[in-house]
A and B are shown apart, each in its own frame.
Chain A
Amino acid sequence: MNWKTFYAMLSRDGHVARRNLIPTLVQNLLQPMLLTFVFGRILTTSGMMKMDYKNVLLPGIIAISMVLSGVWAVAMPLISEFQFTREIEDRLLAPMETHWLAVEKVIAGMIQAMVSGLVVIPSAWLVMGKGVSLDFSHPLEFAAVCLLVALLSAAGGLTLGCSIGQTQIGLMFSMVIAPMMMFGCAYYPWSALASFPTLQYVVLINPLVYASEGLRGTLAPDVQHISIPLVLGALVAFDLVLLVVGLKKFGDKAVS
Chain B
Amino acid sequence: MGIGIRIEELRKVYDTPPPSAARGGGFSFTPMRTAGPKEKKKKLEVVALDNISLEIRPGEIFGLLGPNGAGKSTTIGILTTRTQPTSGRAFIGEYDVWKQQVKAKLLIGVVPQRPNLDFALTAREILLFHGAYFGQSAKERTRRADELIEKFKLTDRADHMVRGFSGGMMQRLSIARAMMHDPEVLFLDEPSAGLDPQTRLLLWEIIREYNRLGKTLVITTHYMDEADALCERLAIIDHGKIIAKGTPQELKASIPGGYLLRLRFDRVSDELLAQLRAIPGVSEVRSTEPGATDVYADRGGTLISGIVSSAQTAGVELRDVHIAEPSLENLFLHHTGRSLRD
CA–CA, A2 and B181, complex, Å: 16
CB <8 Å contact, B135 and A4: yes
Interfacial chain A residues near B24, Cβ < 8 Å: 256
Which of A34-55 touch B at CB < 8 Å? none
B277 adjacent to chain A (CB < 8 Å)? no
| Chain B interface, >50% SS class | loop
Stretch at the interface among A8-16, A167-175, A212-220, A234-242: A8-16
CA–CA, A86 and B134, complex, Å: 19
Q: Count residues on chain B whose CB falls below 8 Å from chain A CBs.
A: 36
Which of B15-35 touch A at CB < 8 Å? 18-20, 22-24
CB <8 Å contact, B133 and A89: no
A22 adjacent to chain B (CB < 8 Å)? no
B16, chain A: closest CB distance, angstroms: 8
A248, chain B: closest CB distance, angstroms: 15
Interfacial chain B residues near A140, Cβ < 8 Å: none
CA–CA, A4 and B181, complex, Å: 14
Interfacial chain A residues near B23, Cβ < 8 Å: 86, 89, 256
B81's contact among A4, A5, A87, A93, by CB below 8 Å, is which?
Answer: A93
Interfacial chain B residues near A5, Cβ < 8 Å: 132-135
With A2-B135, A85-B116, A256-B24 in contact, is A95–B102 under 8 Å at CB? Answer: yes
Interfacial chain A residues near B283, Cβ < 8 Å: none
CA–CA, A4 and B120, complex, Å: 21
CB <8 Å contact, B18 and A256: yes
CB <8 Å contact, A95 and B121: no
Interfacial chain A residues near B18, Cβ < 8 Å: 256
Q: Which residue of B lies closest to A8 (CB)?
A: B132
B57 adjacent to chain A (CB < 8 Å)? no
Binary A-proximity of B1-44 (CB < 8 A = 1, otherwise 0): 00000000000001000111011100000000000000000000
CB <8 Å contact, A11 and B132: yes
A222 adjacent to chain B (CB < 8 Å)? no
B241 adjacent to chain A (CB < 8 Å)? no
With A5-B135, A89-B22 in contact, is A12–B116 under 8 Å at CB? Answer: no
CB <8 Å contact, A90 and B20: no
CB <8 Å contact, A85 and B119: yes
Q: Which residue of B lies closest to A4 (CB)?
A: B135
Q: Which residue of A lies closest to B122 (CB)?
A: A19
Interfacial chain A residues near B83, Cβ < 8 Å: 255-256
With A15-B125, A93-B80 in contact, is A84–B102 under 8 Å at CB? Answer: no
B129 adjacent to chain A (CB < 8 Å)? yes
Interfacial chain B residues near A93, Cβ < 8 Å: 80-82, 105, 108, 110
CA–CA, A93 and B81, complex, Å: 8
Which of B68-122 touch A at CB < 8 Å? 77, 80-84, 101-102, 105-106, 108, 110, 112, 114, 116-121
A30 adjacent to chain B (CB < 8 Å)? no
CA–CA, A256 and B98, complex, Å: 12
B334 adjacent to chain A (CB < 8 Å)? no
> Which A residues form the contact surface with B (CB < 8 A)?
2, 4-5, 8-9, 11-12, 15-16, 19, 77, 84-98, 255-256
A and B contact pairs by CB, cutoff 8 A, 14 listed: A15-B121, A15-B125, A77-B120, A86-B116, A87-B119, A88-B116, A90-B117, A90-B126, A90-B133, A90-B177, A93-B108, A95-B106, A98-B101, A256-B82
Q: Which 4 A-B pairs have the closest CB atoms?
A: A8-B132, A94-B133, A86-B22, A86-B116
> Which B residues form the contact surface with A (CB < 8 A)?
14, 18-20, 22-24, 77, 80-84, 101-102, 105-106, 108, 110, 112, 114, 116-121, 125-126, 129-130, 132-135, 177
